[in-house]
Structures are given as C-alpha cells and as structure tokens.
C-alpha cells in the first residue's frame, strides 16, 4: 500500500491525538502531559525510546531491517502563552494555546513513526524521531543536541527534516521549501539608558534619559537602511518601551527591548555591531550612560542546497507537483531547528494548514489567538515526513558515499554527498 493511503487510514487517530494535545497545551521545556500523550501514542511500536534530562523530550529510534545510515525527523511540541479565541470545540481554556500548530507537528511525527514502523523490514537504515519541547524562544533543539539526539542511532544522522504548518499565506495542503536561508536569525536586545532624574520643569538640572532613548529608536531604523545591503536586509523592531511614572517627573532610567531579524551571517554581524555603535554613540552625545544586553537567540535556518532539492522533489512526487513550490525568499520568523541544520545537512519545509472556510491571504497568522490550523492535513504531514526518511535512506543505500555511511560528521557531510552541488550547498551555508 502507498504511504498516502496508509496515512489516510491513520486520519482518525492522528486527529484525535492532535485535538487532545490542543485541548491541553503546555509551554516551555517542561511538557509532562504532552510527553505522556506521545509515549502512549508510540506504545507498542518497535522503538528505542529515551527521555530528555533537561527537558521533557522524547527521542525514539526505529531500527531498519537492512543496514544503513540514520536520518532524523523532528516535531516540536510546545504551545504559547496566548489565550485562545478560536471558538473551536476543542479550544484550550487556560492561558496557553497551540497557536503555532506544534500540536499538528507532534501528531504528524507520531503518524510518521507508525508508517515507518510498518515498513521497518524494508528500511535501509535507522530513523530518529525527535519530539522536542521548548521551540518558542528556549532553544529546546539545542538542549536535545547537547543530550545527543543527532547520535541517538549510535551514528550521526546524515539528514534531518522538519515540517512546519502555517495558518495563513499558504493554501491548505501546499508544501514549500527552498535552498539556503529559509528563516531568519532572531536576536533580542535590551537597552537601559541611565540618566539622572529630576523635576519636569527644570530639565537642565537633570540628565533626561527619555530624549536619548527616542533618538536611539529612530536612529536604529536609519542605521538598518544605511548599514545593510538592500538585498540582504535585517529587521529591528522596538516592541517595548518603558520610562518614568508621571508627566512632570524626569526618570532616572528609560528602557527599550527590540527584536532583531537577519538572514545571513554578514547581516547578523553588521546589524549587531550597528545597534551597539548607534546606541553607545547617542548615549555619549546626550551625556547619559547606557547598558546593552544583546542576546543571540536563534541562528539563520539554512537548508542545505542538495537536501532542499531532494525534499522538494520527494514532496512533489508524493503530493503532486502542483502542490509543491520553491519559496521565492525566506520568511522573517525563526526556528531552533536552525541549530540542527548547523550540525547536519537537512531541510525545513512549510505546509499550508489554513482551513478551507477562510482566505489564506487574510487568515489570522501563527501565534494569533485566532489562528486556526486544519487537521485535515495530518495524513499528508505524516506521509511526507515518512517519505523523506524512506527516500533518503534508499538513496544512501543506492549511492553510498563517505557521508552517507555516517563516517563524516558535521555540516560538511551534506556538501560531500554530491560533489556537483557542493558549491551550492556551501554558498547556501555562507549566505
């Protein structure tokens, strides 16, 4: 039977699992109820399971019936601190919500595990299933790497794949990916301007931090347009300002917090250096002190060129060419799957999950309290993940190379799998 029709047989189970996860969302690195549900759903499958120590992750290894390398499939499991307003009958009622669709990723990965377990004898190698907490800002992927997920099959995985659903923009069932950068690097910068407070009527007797802070906020936008290549941009958004307590009081301090997005190492370096230079320069000009706390959160998510081409081809064959597209450019969201792709070659794919009764162009986007994800895409998500594993392992067994034999580790492995695409892969990484 084909993967798609087998996956369709799982529809009811996967939908039930997704809705159970949706009803009971958990935030952060500690997702005990979610972990329980995943373990229950995997129960009875021939998997070697290890649980995380620093986080409630589940790593499951399926041993193929034939020898070969290992590949990794990842699903993140955490929710967001958002109060759900979708009105769905399985909506969450507390202050947490699966507003980024990670409940679908978890259920989709369980589906892939079931599909692959049923094909175990034919598999030429092993599959690592990475059920990951803490994607939303906590770098759960990094913690799982530190705990050995990439070597869980006792050999470094040769390819890693993740699928992310979107509640808007993409029509339902449409899959996208692209070679090179697909998601932005994400940093957070917190700035405290230190002046000297006083009476609002007599600013000359004080050191007002507020005008300095205002000058910084606007100068940062100018810096972005003057320091960065228009074709390799960055985003600096000051989302939080705090200063003072009354209109006639000059405060001692004023603060802002900004998010910073960039799509290349070069832009990442430039924007960080530019922010620090502009903020310090303006503080000097105003005669106030400044503290800058620059936190590099997630790197750019970079798809290996050869792996992205492989994943797009595989998705096209599975779902039909009309449902699979190369994304023309990256999007400014970010992902801690970036840490995985910094270690091993692989690809991150998007899948449209906008319900059919809303226009994807105007649908509430991921992270919105109104975001809705259609779980009709679950069988496709499960089949696509399983298919990537099957094809990647069989390709490795047909044309074994050093990298595919698992003897090469690190980011160079992807480039080495195919000499013809090495330059492209390297360019993708460097970009």
Residues that bind Zn ion (CB under 5 A): 100
Which residue lies nearer to Zn ion by CB, 77 or 224? 77
Structure tokens at 256: 């802002």
Q: How far is the CB of 165 from Zn ion (least distance, A)?
A: 8
Which residue lies nearer to Zn ion by CB, 60 or 100? 100
Which residue lies nearer to Zn ion by CB, 117 or 353? 353
Which neighbouring-strand residues pair with 162?
74, 348
Which residue lies nearer to Zn ion by CB, 206 or 235? 235
Q: How far apart are CA 372 and CA 361, in angstroms?
A: 14
CA-to-CA separations, 253 to 52, 200, 220, 224, in angstroms, rounded: 42, 14, 19, 25
Q: Which of 65, 80, 76 is nearest to 27 (CA)?
A: 80
Q: Which of 7, 40, 21, 42 is nearest to 105 (CA)?
A: 21
Find the helix or strand (DSSP H, E) in which 41 lies.
Answer: helix 32-42
Which residue lies nearer to Zn ion by CB, 100 or 260? 100
Q: How far apart are CA 204 and CA 33, in angstroms?
A: 58
Which residue lies nearer to Zn ion by CB, 42 or 100? 100
Structure tokens at 119: 């094909």
Beta strand extents in 43-140 (DSSP E only): 47-51, 58-63, 66-76, 124-132
Find the helix or strand (DSSP H, E) in which 381 lies.
Answer: helix 378-398
CA-to-CA separations, 259 to 138, 266, 270, 296, 342, in angstroms, rounded: 15, 18, 15, 10, 22
CA-to-CA separations, 63 to 120, 408, 429, in angstroms, rounded: 7, 20, 31
Q: Which of 49, 44, 22 is nearest to 33 (CA)?
A: 22
Q: Where are the alpha helices (DSSP H) in 193-335?
A: 209-227, 265-286, 305-319
Q: How far is the CB of 335 from Zn ion (least distance, A)?
A: 7
Burial 168-180 (b: 16+ CB within 10 A, else e): bbbebbbbbbbbb
Which residue lies nearer to Zn ion by CB, 100 or 305? 100
CA atoms within 13 A on the CB side of 232: 16
Which residue lies nearer to Zn ion by CB, 195 or 330? 330
Q: How far apart are CA 345 and CA 149, in angstroms?
A: 15
Q: How far is the CB of 96 from Zn ion (least distance, A)?
A: 14
Q: How far is the CB of 81 from Zn ion (least distance, A)?
A: 14
Q: How far is the CB of 143 from Zn ion (least distance, A)?
A: 17
**253 neighbors 242 (Cβ within 8 angstroms):** no
Which residue lies nearer to Zn ion by CB, 100 or 243? 100
- Residue number of the CB atom closest to Zn ion: 100
Q: How far is the CB of 3 from Zn ion (least distance, A)?
A: 25
Q: How far is the CB of 214 from Zn ion (least distance, A)?
A: 34
Which residue lies nearer to Zn ion by CB, 79 or 116? 79
Q: How far is the CB of 255 from Zn ion (least distance, A)?
A: 28
Q: How far is the CB of 307 from Zn ion (least distance, A)?
A: 20
Q: How far is the CB of 100 from Zn ion (least distance, A)?
A: 3
């Amino acid at each position: 039977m084909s993967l798609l029709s087998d996956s369709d047989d799982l529809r009811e189970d996967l939908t039930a699992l997704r809705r159970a996860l949706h009803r009971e969302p958990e935030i952060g690195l500690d997702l005990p109820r979610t972990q329980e549900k995943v373990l229950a759903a995997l129960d009875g499958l021939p998997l070697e399971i290890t649980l995380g120590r620093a986080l409630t992750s589940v790593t499951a290894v399926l041993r193929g019936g034939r020898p070969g390398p290992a590949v990794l499939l990842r699903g993140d499991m955490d929710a967001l601190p958002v109060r759900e307003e979708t009105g769905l009958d399985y909506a969450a009622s507390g202050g947490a919500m699966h507003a980024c669709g990670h409940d679908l990723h978890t259920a989709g990965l369980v589906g892939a595990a079931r599909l692959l377990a049923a094909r175990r004898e034919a598999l030429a190698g092993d599959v690592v299933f990475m059920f990951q907490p803490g994607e939303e800002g906590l770098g759960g992927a990094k913690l799982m790497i530190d705990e050995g997920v990439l070597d869980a099959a006792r050999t470094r995985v040769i390819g890693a794949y993740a699928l992310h659903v979107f509640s808007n923009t993409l029509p339902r069932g449409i899959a996208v990916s692209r070679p090179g950068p697909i998601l932005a690097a994400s940093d957070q910068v917190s700035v405290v301007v230190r002046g000297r407070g006083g009476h609002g009527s007599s600013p000359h007797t004080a050191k007002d931090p507020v005008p300095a802070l205002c000058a910084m906020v606007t100068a940062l936008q100018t810096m972005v347009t003057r320091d960065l290549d228009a074709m390799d941009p960055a985003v600096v958004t000051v989302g939080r300002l705090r200063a003072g307590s009354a209109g006639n009081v000059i405060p001692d301090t004023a603060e802002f917090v900004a998010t910073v997005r960039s799509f290349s190492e070069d832009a990442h370096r430039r924007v960080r250096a530019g922010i620090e230079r502009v903020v310090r320069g303006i503080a000097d000009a105003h005669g106030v002190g400044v503290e800058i706390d620059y936190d590099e959160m997630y790197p750019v998510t970079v798809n290996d060129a050869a792996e992205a081409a492989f994943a797009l081809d595989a998705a096209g064959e599975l779902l039909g060419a009309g449902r699979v597209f190369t994304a023309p450019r990256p999007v400014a969201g970010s992902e801690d799957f970036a840490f995985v792709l910094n270690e091993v070659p692989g690809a991150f794919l998007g899948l449209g999950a906008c319900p059919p009764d809303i226009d994807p162009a105007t649908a509430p986007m991921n992270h919105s309290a109104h975001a809705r994800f259609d779980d009709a895409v679950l069988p496709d998500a499960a089949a696509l993940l399983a298919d990537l594993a099957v094809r990647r392992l069989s390709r490795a067994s047909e044309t074994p190379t050093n990298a595919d034999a698992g003897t090469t580790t690190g980011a160079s492995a992807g480039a080495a799998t195919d000499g013809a695409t090495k330059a492209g892969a390297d360019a993708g990484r460097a970009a």
